[in-house]
Structure 1
Amino acid sequence: MFDRATTFGEALEDPAARSILERYMPGIAASPMATQFRGGRLGQLVALVPALEDLAERERFFAALAEVGDGAPRPPYDPAIAPDPAYEPDDVARGSAPATLPGPTPLWEPLELRFAGPSHGNPFVDVELEAVFTRDSGQVRVGGFYDGDGVYVVRALADTEGPWSFQTRSTARSLDGITGTVEVVAARDGAHGPVQVDGFHFRHADGTRHRPLGTTAYAWTHQPEALQQQTLATLADAPFAKLRMCVFPKSYLYNADEPDDFPFVGSLAEGFDLTRFDPAHFRRLEQRVAELGALGIEADIILFHAYDRWGFADLGPAVDERYLRHVVRRLAGFANVWWSMANEYDLLWSKDIDDWERLAAVVGEEDPFGHLNSIHNCRPVYDYAKPWITHVSIQRVDVYRTAENTDQWREQWGKPVVIDECAYEGDIDQGWGNITGEEMVRRFWEGAVRGGYVGHGETYYPPALGLEGEVLWWSKGGVLHGTSPDRIRFLEQLQSEAPEGVWDPLPSDWDMPWGGAEGQVKVGYFGFNRPRFRNLILDDGGWRIEVIDTWGMTVETLPGVQRGQVRVELPGRQFMALRLTRLED
């Protein structure tokens, strides 16, 4: 039978299915390029057909396919597994498992309770554990997880100073009813707490401004240890404040290496036990998240993606939820975590909108500390008005024009706009991965003056640089070769100098966008244009005018206080900007 998992090639070879393809997706079925889609799943290809963005029409398409074909139905997904209420016999004393409590825990750090419990059977699915904490700001329930070798962990984010008393609840008698108290003390110097939405922008919990000028290294934690360490060293000297990264490994161009381990126990050759997680794999992920936090970098955790050869993109509803609960319980205690439900959600052929809404609810249930959460598109954008979505996480919607939509998207959804993928600086053969450093920086500036934030990525082909292998930053990390990061740092510094540390869109000229802080600072960006001068009519009062070379990273101040109508001489180069700052009279 034909369904979302059917490949395009399989459906084409069946006359009845082919007629359905020609009716619902004629632009693909009748295309000379149809052979390129033969291996694609129908659940992916619907994302390329505008008419099938209508969920009712999409349902009719799959219903029609389900009625044709004489193949055997696909094996059912693994069922949900309920915890075993008889996991430990009645003669085991309640609350008898030894507990290891932390000493005074600094504010905004993980507060971790550890218990030495039973290990027979399969504790990953047989045992449910949680703790209810009571502190000055109220009660909070935090789910626990099995960490292997008879160790159970409840990890909370210490978000309130003072005493935290707790009581555990568990289906394992020895883990049920354990009580105690831990103390949360003042934050360490330099700690600012989790990032929260602040209107169209972001702040840390302590009020410190956060500007998410980020980068992407999807599979960096699945690389050899030496390469991971090199990535951390590179990030320590880079200007980025956020890193997009996947939990699952990636199979795609320049990503053919097999990781040493996986979220689930097993291997591609021998199969995976979807009832058992690999604690060593997750401990390393936790360590990397903590190391990013020490660098002041937010870990934007991508929970699902489509670039898969291991079966992780099609685990089924029960395993998806089991995996999500485990990941969120492990990582929600870190202050520097953001959630991304998916990279290119519309390419995950096994899931539809209802699935994403259900899975987002699981994340919300298991994260009592309210980390930021969004979802990322390939072609059709998600409805970012959904209440669980804290900010827009979007990628280019046109080969050239994306950042220019920032102010429109702010108005459309009323939320901060983060363009997490605007294409990548590099020189590979893919159009999304061969823009220049100048173009990358231009897109950053176009987004910035419109009140949003643009993300970086780099895809330089190593042999062209005299290097061996296929280590491209956008996926594997390593070192940066491009010319944009220093200019991104320069932009971030200019934004930090605004009164509130952010730019919002301001009334613009027909040929030039303006942003900044109304009545205080105005920043205009010329982009591709290269005027020799600009006539300005200034608002009342005195102003300082600066000419900014966004590529040369220079700021030249016009002498004196400017008033009224002013002619500003310019160098006739691209990528120039003006900054106007109101002065006290």
Structure 2
Amino acid sequence: MAFMGEHTKARLILDYEDGRAALSEALPEFTSHPENFGSAGDLPIGALATVFRVKEAAQEKLWVKLSTIEVPDRVEVPPIAPDPGYEGPGVALASARISVPAAGRVNETVEIAFEGPSHGNPFTDVELHAYFSLDGVEIRVGGFYDGNGRYLVRFLPERPGQWQFRTESTARSLNGHAGTVRVEPGPARGAVRVAESFHFAYTDGEVYRPVGTTLYAWTHQSPELEKKTLETLATSPFTKVRMCVFPKGYIFNDNDPGLYPFERDDETWDTTHFNPRFFQHLEDRIRDLGALGIEADVILFHPYDRWGFQDLGAAADDRYLRYVVRRLAAIPNVWWSLANEYDFLTAKTSRDWERFAKIVTEEDHANHLLSIHNGTRVYDFSAQWATHCSLQKVDYYKSAELVEDLREKWGKPVIMDEIGYEGDLEYEWGNLSAQEVVRRVWETNLRGGYYTHGETYYHPEDVLWWAKGGELVGQSADRIAFLDKLVAESPTGRLEPLSLAGVPTPAGGVAGEYELHYYGYSQCRYVTVSVPEGRDAVIDIIDTWAMTTDTLPGTYSGRPRVELPARPFMAVRVRVNKAP
């Protein structure tokens, strides 16, 4: 038997008389409102204690009481090994019909299709790999079953040339195929990679700036709403979307999706049979984002779930990960997030997350970016597999202010992926003013980090952008676009934090060339800036809320005093002229 603790789901605690009594004492505002159970019942009680700001002493008392309540041990279903005798010796090797493209292009998906067997359960019985080689370099790519006797191998080539391939499979008809694919140069920029320690670039070297937004469940909505979301994104500044694979069940997310990732056996998910239509739909939406120049930050697990997908068991989790990564890895505009709020997934331990990271890196031949997102406990981003830091604020007020310290601590790019949402809900995470969101965005960017926007304005039909998409109604998106334009105009297309002695407000840019100074809440009547000795500079006064840029007449040198209108959210840009 096992015992309850801070990682136990609230719903399970409420099933026990002693647990309900302990919970009622510690969190009466939760247990006295049954409507909370549906939206938050699957969260760990430790997370709810943080959300409801239970005092530390009361938490410790609760943990002691819960530690005396026994619960049944979890029974794990063992993994299913591929069947080496799936096709008998009477089936000729490499006899499945194969379709190879006449040519592919660099940084674009190359797909090889096979018409193969469909008896038994090809999802678990058949293992398929292809090995692509060019100039002595060989890349192993996992294949997958797409239903109706169709198998696919998808490859994302980063170099032109005559690529050779061969297949290995537990199905004789899929085993032993060989051929070539001519890959030609093309205009595609490729996958995004970490660049210069704290930033990002496409495979071809072009600068990439993550300007993110949050659309957790947008691919689980009606076709009409998905279309409207894409239309909105097409006119937005966003270059990255955080989105879940699994549907989301939480407040304002009560609708059931039209498709699920697994087949259903009565009331139980058959995790050995994937639903190809679900994944085809997901791929189509990711490609739609790619056509708009937007990266899909794909969240593989999340805790907001009334269907049981957060707790499938280790074997099912691993099988799902291999399947989804093999399907999506050859799509250029994919990132991986192991989880949204990983620490709220009570059934998973640190060993699970490390195992999941190993699976993703093994199966992703294209080496897409990979991270994990926290609820209240920041992950240890020193993990070798973590390419960047994906963070939620861990303080109601401070978040952006921590970016420089986090860069120094981890030595990796920092993305404040949940900096707080612009909205008008009663929940602290969803009621920031647009001015505060814009302030946090400026603070984050000038301190050397990146950010993700979200919008949570009440809607009578529960169509909130942060989950379902639709239309933007807030005021921060346009101002985020205004900031990104200023960043793009820097000599490097990026900002580095600039440390200025005695100046508490942030500055970022390229030292001695291009500087943005931001004054946030301060309402300065004037400020003094510095221009490198022997140089002169053009100075702009920027109203970050009104989105105006006023260039002062002439040029300035030394330490000029810059007059400001004594109101908050102002910035000054210093553009240093080249030395004569």
Alignment correspondent of 1:445: 442
Correspondent of 1:249 among 247, 250, 255: 247
Q: Return the letter of the residue paired with 1:126.
A: D
Question: CA offsets per residue over residues 103-151 of structure 1, 9 Å max, x none?
Answer: 2111111111100000001100010001011113710000000000000
Alignment correspondent of 1:182: 181
Matches within 5 A, 1:160-559: 160-188=159-187, 191-198=188-195, 199-266=197-264, 270-463=267-460, 469-508=461-500, 509-540=502-533, 541-559=535-553
Alignment correspondent of 1:53: none
Using the alignment, how far apart are the partners of 1:523 and 1:247 within structure 2? 38
Indicate the larger mover: 344-353 or 258-267: 258-267
Query: Contact 1:3 / 1:42 at 8 angstroms: preserved in 2?
Result: no
1:212 CA displacement: 0.1
1:578 CA displacement: 0.7
Indicate the larger mover: 397-406 or 38-47: 38-47
Using the alignment, how far apart are the partners of 1:13 and 1:132 within structure 2? 52
Question: CA offsets per residue over residues 498-543 of structure 1, 9 Å max, x none?
Answer: 1111001111343321111122112110111111111234331212
Using the alignment, how far apart are the partners of 2:475 and 2:485 within structure 1? 17
Q: Secondary structure at the match of 1:283?
A: helix
Using the alignment, how far apart are the partners of 2:11 and 2:253 within structure 1? 24
Query: Contact 1:6 / 1:41 at 8 angstroms: preserved in 2?
Result: no
1:17 CA displacement: 7.1
Q: Secondary structure at the match of 1:181?
A: strand
Q: Secondary structure at the match of 1:214?
A: strand
Q: Return the letter of the residue paired with 2:563.
A: E
Using the alignment, how far apart are the partners of 2:264 and 2:272 within structure 1? 11
Query: Contact 2:218 / 2:243 at 8 angstroms: preserved in 1?
Result: yes
1:49 CA displacement: 7.3
Alignment correspondent of 1:25: none
Q: Return the letter of the residue paired with 1:501.
A: G
Q: Secondary structure at the match of 1:561?
A: coil
1:553 CA displacement: 1.3
Q: % of aligned pairs identical?
A: 50
Using the alignment, how far apart are the partners of 1:16 and 1:490 within structure 2? 55
1:66 CA displacement: 7.9
Q: 1:12 to 1:272 in 2, by over 3 A?
A: closer
Q: Secondary structure at the match of 2:498?
A: strand
1:173 CA displacement: 0.6
Correspondent of 1:564 among 555, 558, 580: 558
1:565 CA displacement: 2.4
Query: Contact 2:9 / 2:346 at 8 angstroms: preserved in 1?
Result: no
Q: CA RMSD in A?
A: 2.5
Q: Secondary structure at the match of 1:409?
A: helix
Question: CA offsets per residue over residues 38-91 of structure 1, 9 Å max, x none?
Answer: 9567982345679xxxxxxx9xx999978753x6x3562332101111111111
Using the alignment, how far apart are the partners of 1:134 and 1:415 within structure 2? 31
Query: Contact 2:252 / 2:463 at 8 angstroms: preserved in 1?
Result: yes
Alignment correspondent of 1:113: 112
1:228 CA displacement: 0.7
Q: Return the letter of the residue paired with 2:315.
A: A
Using the alignment, how far apart are the partners of 1:534 and 1:7 within structure 2? 53
Query: Contact 1:43 / 1:350 at 8 angstroms: preserved in 2?
Result: no
Using the alignment, how far apart are the partners of 1:278 and 1:416 within structure 2? 36
Query: Contact 1:264 / 1:274 at 8 angstroms: preserved in 2?
Result: yes
Query: Contact 1:244 / 1:299 at 8 angstroms: preserved in 2?
Result: yes
Using the alignment, how far apart are the partners of 2:471 and 2:275 within structure 1? 29
1:232 CA displacement: 0.8
Using the alignment, how far apart are the partners of 2:388 and 2:139 within structure 1? 24
Q: How many residues align?
A: 560
Q: Return the letter of the residue paired with 2:31.
A: T
Query: Contact 2:165 / 2:178 at 8 angstroms: preserved in 1?
Result: yes
Alignment correspondent of 2:157: 158
Using the alignment, how far apart are the partners of 1:137 and 1:337 within structure 2? 27
Question: CA offsets per residue over residues 560-583 of structure 1, 9 Å max, x none?
Answer: 121112111111221110111111
Q: 1:280 to 1:136 in 2, by over 3 A?
A: same
1:193 CA displacement: 0.8
Q: Return the letter of the residue paired with 2:221.
A: Q
Q: 1:558 to 1:454 in 2, by over 3 A?
A: same
Q: 1:121 to 1:428 in 2, by over 3 A?
A: same
Q: Secondary structure at the match of 1:447?
A: helix
Using the alignment, how far apart are the partners of 1:334 and 1:505 within structure 2? 33
Using the alignment, how far apart are the partners of 1:161 and 1:63 within structure 2? 62
Using the alignment, how far apart are the partners of 1:138 and 1:36 within structure 2? 63
Using the alignment, how far apart are the partners of 2:48 and 2:575 within structure 1? 46
Using the alignment, how far apart are the partners of 1:322 and 1:15 within structure 2? 37
Using the alignment, how far apart are the partners of 2:153 and 2:285 within structure 1? 19
Q: 1:485 to 1:13 in 2, by over 3 A?
A: closer
Question: CA offsets per residue over residues 465-504 of structure 1, 9 Å max, x none?
Answer: xxxx111110001111111111111111110111111001
Alignment correspondent of 1:44: 44
Q: Return the letter of the residue paired with 1:228.
A: E
Q: 1:258 to 1:74 in 2, by over 3 A?
A: farther
Query: Contact 1:48 / 1:379 at 8 angstroms: preserved in 2?
Result: no
Query: Contact 1:214 / 1:455 at 8 angstroms: preserved in 2?
Result: yes
Question: CA offsets per residue over residues 249-308 of structure 1, 9 Å max, x none?
Answer: 0000100001111111128x7331111111011111111111111110000000000000
Query: Contact 1:111 / 1:158 at 8 angstroms: preserved in 2?
Result: yes
Using the alignment, how far apart are the partners of 1:8 and 1:439 within structure 2? 33
Q: Return the letter of the residue paired with 2:464.
A: L
1:13 CA displacement: 7.9
Q: Return the letter of the residue paired with 1:380.
A: R
Q: Return the letter of the residue paired with 1:185.
A: E
Using the alignment, how far apart are the partners of 1:335 and 1:492 within structure 2? 23
Q: 1:275 to 1:450 in 2, by over 3 A?
A: same
Q: Secondary structure at the match of 2:167?
A: strand
Indicate the larger mover: 153-162 or 295-304: 153-162
Query: Contact 1:302 / 1:341 at 8 angstroms: preserved in 2?
Result: yes
Q: 1:385 to 1:86 in 2, by over 3 A?
A: same
